[in-house]
């Protein structure tokens, strides 16, 4: 843990803020996702766009925090964080379309 804190200090990132963003991301993302699906099923597309964008913003908030606040990251790590944010956006879009169409994943 001490090594992780030293690494966070070196890059100018607060572990408490990052952990809080991750914890809030999970809850707020799934609430927004559910509201977007509900709006899409009710054919309220303006509301669906709003909640989809909200879900996306909550989902990428920890990565955005690292990219904006962090300093001195290697180029490969910056590219990795940016690609994670883009991949997350495509995944959310794909899942929203499937849920709105009524498809369920087998359990």
The tens digit of pLDDT for each residue in 68-97 reads 888 888 888 888 888 888 888 888 888 877
List, for residues 43-56, the tens digit of each pLDDT value.
888 888 899 889 88
The HSE-up count of residue 3 (CA atoms within 13 Å, CB side) is: 0
Distance separating alpha carbons of residues 15 and 90, to the nearest angstrom: 27
In whole angstroms, what is the distance from residue 42 CA to residue 27 CA?
23
Residue 103 confidence (pLDDT): 58
CB 39 within 8 A of CB 48: yes
pTM for this entry: 0.70
What is the sign, positive or negative, of the torsion defined by CA atoms of 94, 100, 101, 103? positive
């Amino acid at each position: 843990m001490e090594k992780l804190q030293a690494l966070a200090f070196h890059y100018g990132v607060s572990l408490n803020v990052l952990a809080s963003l991750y914890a809030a991301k999970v809850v707020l993302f799934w609430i927004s996702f559910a509201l977007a699906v509900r709006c899409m099923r009710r054919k309220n597309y303006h509301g669906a766009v709003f909640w989809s964008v909200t879900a996306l913003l909550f989902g990428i908030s920890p990565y955005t925090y690292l990219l904006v606040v962090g300093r001195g990251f290697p180029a490969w790590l910056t590219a990795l964080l940016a690609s994670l944010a883009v991949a997350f956006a495509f995944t959310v879009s794909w899942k929203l379309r499937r849920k709105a169409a009524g498809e369920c994943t087998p359990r």
